[in-house]
Amino acid sequence: MENQRPEGKNIAQSPFFQNILKKAETYLKHPSQVAQLISDSLKKASSKKGVGALAGEVWENLQLLTRMLKAVMAGDYKGIPSSTLVGGVAVLIYFISPIDLIPDMIPVIGLLDDATLLAWFMTSIKAELDKYKEWEMTQPIKVSPVEAERATAPHNADTSWGTPKYSDRTGTDVEVSPRNDV
């Protein structure tokens, strides 16, 4: 194994990654597989977020890529080139694969090739990402049906909290004990 840092372009041109591209095309025919891939990628990234290779910008790029792929798969965002879509899915497949050019079992360095490939890919699709970010900013915030129900459900809180309750007395029937300690 070479001691040089892997180059994202070199990884993308490797026979290993070329096979992953073919696999990505298959994934795109099954939206549930892409959804699971996105979920698995975010889980792996959040578990490795403290590792230097996945800090800061790489984590943000992964989140941006997964949001864009989700929007495309949901049919909300259109006009993305198919090569970008296939490449994005392939990058996620590579990222979650424990066995790649530098196996993830090697602490820290094992994620270096993943982060390098992601950074290279994000740079190569910068114009598309900028369009997506502009589109994303114009979209209303989506609220899940569960959250919407909670927001509109009647509030059944007891508004008399902190006040004494005398259910067996009328409002004017209050008993006051004399103070003997004065």
Domain boundaries in the chain? 8-145
Give dist(CA 147, CA 80) in Å, integer: 30
Task: Please give the angle made by the CA atoms of 136, 76 and 148, to the nearest 5 degrees.
Answer: 80
Q: What is the pLDDT along the chain (182 residues), one digit of tens a residue?
A: 344 445 877 788 888 888 889 999 999 999 999 999 999 888 887 776 655 545 567 778 888 999 999 999 999 999 899 999 999 999 999 888 877 666 566 666 667 777 788 888 998 999 999 999 999 999 888 777 777 677 676 766 666 656 665 555 555 555 666 666 65
Is the Cβ–Cβ distance between 7 and 76 less than 8 Å? Answer: no
Q: Which amino acid type is present at position 4?
A: Q
Task: Please give the angle made by the CA atoms of 118, 81 and 7, to the nearest 5 degrees.
Answer: 25
Which of 89, 160, 77, 156 minimizes the C-alpha distance to 118? Answer: 89
Is the Cβ–Cβ distance between 120 and 108 less than 8 Å? Answer: no
